[in-house]
Chains A and B, each alone.
Chain A
Amino acid sequence: MNQTLAAQLLFALYALVILAGGLAAVLARNLVRAMVGLVMTLFGVAGLYLLLNTPFMAFMQILIYVGAVVVLIFFAIMLTRSPAGGEEAKPRAGRQALLAGLAGLAPAAVLGAALLANPLASATRPAEVELKLLGAHLLTSYVLAFELISVVLFIAMAGAVLLGFTRRKGQ
């Protein structure tokens, strides 16, 4: 079937983009390059959301992550004036690389083994959920979670303002 082949090819392409971007995000010496790798990964995940027939999530991914979170990270990089020859660029011991690799691979290996040992029945063509339905759910069944996330965002914003606030001397 033609559509299946196209889906498989696109999945392989997006997985490659995610892997390459993730490796750049984790290993790049320069933090700005690491951020560009993160952007690449985010676009790859947005492509996977499109393949899963959830276009709304793909747009939200690009809007929230690439539009807001990455800009915040860029602010953090620029405001900390990370020196080019700082700690990040110094060579590291091979033992450290081994331990870090172990820390990353051990949980993933356990979860991956569990995943491969228990194959669940999987749909081949996911159904799209109407946007109207999502909005209705957000305002009826899941209204508590919706309100709580707005409270969390407000508190995070207030906390950020409070932390960045410098008190004048004598007050």
Chain B
Amino acid sequence: MTPLQLYQLAALALLALGLFGLVWRRSLVGMLISVELMLNGAGLSIVAAGQLTAADNALAQLATLLVMGLAAAEATLVLAIVLVVVKRFGHGESQDIFELRG
């Protein structure tokens, strides 16, 4: 197995763990933790592809920096949304908040 494949398998493990957690978790914060796992796998995959193939190394690192920035923005917004949900429902669990009311 080549080094590139090993790094991509590690990133795939992060993706699988994140997807599993997203389905398994019942609280919004637990789901946020799973999403962060997946985003980390994406970053690792991009950097490994850039460093170990003939692709542009600088481009891969900058792309991963953008992924990190997006993850930070996403975490900020999810924190605010969780706070609004807790204010309205009294807890942050996903079982009771699937209903839309217009």
* Chain A at the B interface: SS class: helix
Q: Is the CB of A38 within 8 A of B47?
A: no
Query: Which B residues lie within 8 Å of A126 (CB)?
Result: 51-52, 57
Q: Give the complex CA separation of A121 and B4 in angstroms.
A: 8
Total interface residues on B, using CB and 8 Å? 72
Q: Give the complex CA separation of A127 and B58 in angstroms.
A: 11
Among A60, A115, A129, A156, point to the contact of B58 (Cβ < 8 A): A129
* Chain B at the A interface: SS class: helix
Q: Give the complex CA separation of A137 and B33 in angstroms.
A: 32
Q: Is the CB of A22 within 8 A of B71?
A: no
Q: Is the CB of A22 within 8 A of B37?
A: yes
Q: Is the CB of A48 within 8 A of B44?
A: yes
Tell me how far the C-beta of A47 lies from the nearest C-beta in chain B, rounded to whole angstroms: 11
User: Which chain A residues have a beta carbon within 8 Å of chain B's beta carbons?
Assistant: 11, 15, 18-19, 22-23, 25-27, 31, 34-35, 38, 41-42, 45, 48-49, 52-54, 56-57, 60-61, 64-65, 68-69, 72-73, 75-77, 79-83, 86-88, 96-97, 99-101, 103-105, 107-108, 111-112, 115-116, 119-124, 126-127, 129, 133-134, 137-138, 142, 145, 149, 152-153, 155-157, 159-161, 163-164
